[in-house]
Amino acid sequence: MGVLIFLLKTYMVFLMLVLLLYIIRHYTFTLNRALGKQRLYYQDVLDEDLPTVSVLVPMHNEEKVARHILDLLVASDYPKEKLEIIPINDHSKDRTKEILEEYAQRYPFIRPLHRYGDLPRGKQNGLNDALKIAKGEVIIVYDADYLPPKGQIRILAVAFKDPQVGAVMGRVVPINAEKNLLTRLLDIERSGGYQVDQQARYNLNLIPQYGGTVGGFRKRLVIELGGFDARILAEDTELTYKLYLNGYKVAYANIAECYEEAPESWNVRARQLRRWARGHNQVMFKYFIPTILSKNLNFWQKIDGLLLLAIYMQSFLIFLGLLDSLLLFFLGEMEITSSYLFLLFMFAHNSFGNFAPFFEIGTALVLDGAKQKVFLLPLMFFEFIFNIIYASLGFFDALIDLITKRTIIWQKTERFRNA
Amino acid sequence: MPEVVLLVALFSILLFLPFVPPLIELFLKRDAKPIPIDLERKKEPDYFGKSFINLLATALKDLKIQEVEKPNPVYLKLKLNREEWVGFLNDEKLAESTMDAPVIFTKDTVFLQNHTFKRELVVFGNAVFKNTCLARSLYVKGDCVIKAPLRIARWVHVEGNLLINSNADLGVSVYAREMKIRGWTTFKRAYAKKIDTSDEPLIDKKNVERTINLQGNFGITGSITIGGKERPVFVDGDIFCDGDVQIEGDVWIKGNVFSQESITLKNGVVIGIEGKVKSVVARGEILIEGPFRIYGYIHSEKRVEASP
Please report the DSSP string for chain B in residue order: -HHHHHHHHHHHHHHHGGGHHHHHHHHH-TT-SPPP--TT----TTHHHHHHHHHHHHHHTTS-PPP--SSS-EEEEEESSSEEEEEEES-GGGS-SEE-S-EEE-S-EEE-S-EEEEEEEEESS-EEE-S-EEEEEEEESS-EEE-S-EEESSEEEEEEEEEE-S-EE--SEEEEEEEEE-S-EEEEEEEEEEEES-SS--GGGS---S-EEEES-EEESS-EEEEEEEEEEEEES-EEESS-EEEEEEEEE-S-EEESS-EEEESSEEES-TTS-EEEEESS-EEEESSEEEEEEEEEEEEEEEE-
Q: Which residue of B has its CA nearest to A181?
A: B26
Q: B45 to chain A: which residues are within 8 Å by CB? A: 46
Dist CA A176 CA B33 (whole Å): 8
Burial of B242 (0-12, 13-18, 19+ CB in 10 A): middle
* Domain final residue pick, B141, B168, B191: B191
B110-126 average pLDDT score: 94
CB atoms within 10 A of CB A330: 9
How many whole angstroms separate alpha carbon B281 and alpha carbon B43?
14
B34 inside domain: no
State whether B71 and B130 are in the same domain: yes
Are residues B302 and B183 part of one domain? no
Percent of chain B scoring above 90 in pLDDT: 73
Strand-pair category, A249-260 with B115-123:
unpaired
Q: Which of B139, B156, B191 is where one domain is finished?
A: B191
How many Å apart are CA B123 and CA B102, to the nearest integer? 11
Residue at A362 is within a domain: yes
* pLDDT for the residue numbered A132: 96
Q: What is the model's pLDDT at position A343?
A: 62
Q: Tell me: do B255 and B137 sit in the same domain.
A: no
Residue B219 forms contact with A (CB below 8 Å):
yes
Could you read off the pLDDT of B123-135 as tens digits, one per residue? Answer: 999 999 999 999 9
Provide the domain count of chain B. Answer: 2
Contact B278/A at CB under 8 A: yes
Say whether residue B291 is in contact with chain A using an 8 A CB cutoff.
no
The distance of B35 to chain A (nearest Cα, Å) reads 7
What is the extent of the structural domain holding A285?
1-42+162-419
Q: Is the dihedral of CA A251, A255, A261, A262 positive or negative?
A: positive
Exposed, middle or buried: residue A261 (CB in 10 Å: 0-12, 13-18, 19+)?
A: buried
Q: Mutate which of B19, B33, B39, B193 to disrupt the A interface (most A C-beta within 10 Å)?
A: B39
Does some domain include residue A62? no
- Residue B37, chain A, CB below 8 Å: the answer is yes
Note the pTM of the prediction, 2 decimals: 0.91
- Interface touch A46/B191, C-beta < 8 Å: yes
Chain A residues with CB under 8 Å of B281 CB are 40, 42, 44-45
C-alpha span between A181 and A164 (Å, rounded)? 41
Please state the rounded mean pLDDT for residues B23-34: 92
Candidates A38, A72, A146, A161: best to mutate against B (most CBs of B within 10 A) is: A161
**B95-114 residues touching A, CB cutoff 8 A:** none
The verdict on residue B22 lying in a domain is no
For residue A196, the chain B residues in CB contact (below 8 A) are none
Domain encompassing residue B294? 203-307
Please check whether residue B7 lies inside any domain of the structure.
Answer: no
Tell me, yes or no, whether B248 lies in a domain. yes
In a domain, A123, yes or no: no
pLDDT of residue B65: 59
**Half-sphere exposure for B277 (CA within 13 Å, toward CB):** 17
Q: Which residue has the higher pLDDT, B147 or A348?
A: B147
| Shared domain check, B88 and B117 | yes
Residues 6+ apart with CB under 8 A from A61: A92, A93, A94, A96, A412
Q: Is B213 found in the same domain as B180?
A: no
Phi then psi for residue B295, to 5 deg, are: -105, 95
B94, with CB counted inside 10 A (0-12, 13-18, 19+), is middle
CA atoms within 13 A on the CB side of B285: 7
Burial (CB < 10 A; 0-12, 13-18, 19+), residue A108, is exposed
Average pLDDT on B91-98 reads 81
> B136 and B210: one domain?
no
A301-320 exposure pattern, b = at least 16 Cβ within 10 A, e = fewer = bbbbbbbbbbbbbbbbbbbe
A46:B45 CB<8 A: yes
The pLDDT value given to residue A214: 96
Q: Which of A277, A272, A278, A159 is nearest to A214 (CA)?
A: A159
Average pLDDT value for chain B: 91
Q: Would you say residue A53 lies in a domain? A: no
Same domain flag for B165 and B278: no
- Does a structural domain hold residue A149? no
Evaluate if residue B263 carries a pLDDT over 80.
yes
B3 lies in some domain? no
Gap from B260 CA to chain A (nearest CA, Å): 6
Do residues B57 and B183 share a domain?
Answer: yes
Q: Report the range out of A25-29, A378-382, B87-91, B301-305 with the highest average pLDDT.
A: B301-305
- CB < 8 Å from A in window 147-186 of B: none
Same domain for B59 and B187? yes
Report the C-alpha gap between A44 and B183 in whole angstroms.
26
Q: Does B255 touch chain A (CB under 8 A)?
A: yes
Average pLDDT rounded to a whole number, residues B249-257: 95
Selected for mutation to probe chain B from A142, A165, A255, A375 (highest B CB count within 10 Å) is A375
Question: Which residues in chain B have Cβ-Cβ distances shorter than 8 Å to A45?
Answer: 256, 258, 279, 281
Q: How far is B225 from chain A (nearest CA, A)?
A: 18
Residue B287 within a domain: yes
Give the model's confidence band at B66: pLDDT under 50 very low, under 70 low, under 90 confident, else very high: low
pLDDT of residue A348: 55
Give the CA radius of gyration of chain A: 22
Using the beta-carbon criterion (under 8 Å), do B35 and A370 form an inter-chain contact? yes
Contact B26 A178 (CB under 8 A): no
Probe site for chain A from B23, B24, B27, B31 (most A CB atoms < 10 A): B31
Q: How many CB atoms lie within 10 A of CB A332?
A: 8
Per-residue pLDDT of chain A (419 residues; tens, 9 = 90+): 889 999 998 998 888 888 888 888 988 999 999 999 999 999 999 999 999 999 999 999 999 999 999 999 999 999 999 999 999 999 999 999 999 999 999 999 999 999 999 888 889 999 999 999 999 999 999 999 999 999 999 999 999 999 999 999 999 999 999 999 999 999 999 999 999 999 999 999 999 999 999 999 999 999 999 999 988 999 999 999 999 999 999 999 999 999 999 999 999 999 999 999 999 999 999 999 999 999 999 999 999 999 999 999 988 998 898 888 889 888 887 776 666 666 666 665 555 445 557 889 999 999 999 989 999 998 888 888 899 899 999 999 999 999 998 877 777 787 887 75
The number of residues in chain A equals 419
To the nearest whole Å, the CA of A199 is away from the closest chain B CA by 15
Whether the pLDDT of residue B26 is over 70: the answer is yes
What is the pLDDT at residue A345? 61
Question: Which residues, other chains included, contact A196 with Cβ-Cβ below 8 Å and sequence gap of 6+?
Answer: A29, A30, A33, A360, A361, A363, A364, A367
Domains contained in chain A, number: 1
Between CA A161 and CA B237 the distance in angstroms is 9
d(CA B124, CA B110): 12
Residue B7 CB burial class (10 angstroms; 0-12, 13-18, ≥19): exposed
Assess contact for B122 and B102: CB atoms under 8 A.
yes
Q: What is the pLDDT of residue B176?
A: 98
d(CA A413, CA A221): 29
Lowest mean pLDDT segment, chosen from A306-310, B224-228, B238-242: B224-228
Distance of alpha carbon A279 from alpha carbon A312, whole angstroms? 10
Residues B57 and B156 in one domain: yes
Tell whether B246 is covered by a domain. yes
